[in-house]
Amino acid sequence: MIAIQYLEPSPGIQTLTKAEVTARLRAAFDRLPIDIVIIGWDLPPALVAACAHETQRANAQLYLWQPLLTGSNAVQPRTAWRASGLTDEPVSGHHNFPEFTFLCPNRPAVQAAVMEQLRQAVRHGPYQGVFLDRLRYPSPLAQPDRDLACFCADCRRAATFDLLEVQRQVRTLLATPDRLCAALRLLFKQDADLPAELVGLQQFLDFRTQSITRSVAVAAQIARKEKLAVGLDCFSPSLTRAVGQDLNALDAHCDWIKIMTYGHAFGPAGLPYELSNLARWLIECRGCNEAATVNEVAQVAHLPLPPTLSEWRARGLSAEALSHEVRLAQAAGVKTLLAGIELVDLEGVTCLTEAQISADLRALRAAQPAGLALSWDLWRMPLDRLDLVRTIWNGASMLQSK
């Protein structure tokens, strides 16, 4: 199973022609047996129609790529709707982009707005499925003592425990050096045997995953009513708990899950980006040396990591780390799992090589997910990288089928 993401909204989208969009998609189909084409939200209707026609011609399925809990043209991220952090301030989005500014799933006004947006988007579209993205809380890893969310009044009403007291406890934990590491471990993994001062934090993290799962369940029901399949875009498993995602619980509400196994991306959801943010915060707030901090992050994240932050930037994570992530998702109970791989060079975010992509493909293939999701956007992908996927990934599939 191969899925490909196409036409993420951007200022230049409005200038594209149907012929250009069709030609690019046809070039991808000529190179790979693509099963699913996932096209962006807020696209001009003519481009949607062009993608639908070409996807149907190739006997593939067309999915709407739909952000759930962030801003868009239809849902502006009002300050009152944003997730509220440990300091009671709204958490800022990545570079203050609306599409990376996260809304609290427990606010009734948010639920009403995002679900109505989804209903309108899928009601008359030429889609066979919907791919739900941005189904999470903002990542707290760049500054946990500020960005861990949400503690708003609606969350306090929805929680079955004293959220204000837990907020106070967590502030104290993150400000206490000898408690900090234990608290951070809970951002990555549940623990059945906890000291009393950590119980509230675990309760809060469980509450967040339940809140996200409820929102996804409602969204999935809307899609099912329109007879659409449902795919989910989730963080890589080592990071899911930090953003409120429970892969096992989410799997019950979808047909497949793509995990963002982005081992070389320095942007939101990229493994080296998220983990290096945490490492830098630890170095800044505690004054520890880099080597000790990198080792500590590797331990709390349960990941093999390069020994220096400069290596994370230059080389990203190892191919073995990515196969480890696939196996974590499988162990979490994801039945139909797609491994996401970045294939686009973006200045300051990714700088990929053929050798690295080849190693990643082989490692992901060895972990045996159900398929591959090519990210982020076909429009920007060098087509020779699709040839590389055909040779390494799909070539292996054809050999095994024989």
Q: What is the pLDDT of residues 248-297, one digit of tens each?
A: 999 999 999 999 999 999 999 999 999 999 999 999 988 889 999 999 99
Q: What is the reported pTM? A: 0.96
Q: 35-60 pLDDT, tens per residue?
A: 999 999 999 999 999 999 999 999 99
In a domain, residue 96? The reply is yes
Kindly state whether residue 336 falls inside one of the protein's structural domains.
yes
**Domain assignment present for 145:** no
Phi, psi of 228 (to 5 degrees): -105, 145
- The total domain count for the chain is 1
Q: Is 295 a domain residue?
A: no
A 10 A CB-CB count for 267 gives 18
- The string of pLDDT tens digits covering residues 304-360 is 999 999 999 899 999 999 999 999 999 999 999 999 999 999 999 999 999 999 999
Residue 384 lies in a domain: yes
Range of the domain at 357: 2-137+210-270+307-401
Specify the CATH number for the domain of residue 349: 3.20.20.80
Percentage helix, strand, coil for the chain under 3-state DSSP, each rounded to 5: 55, 15, 35
CA distance 212 to 157: 16
How many distinct helices (H) and strands (E) make up the chain? 17, 8
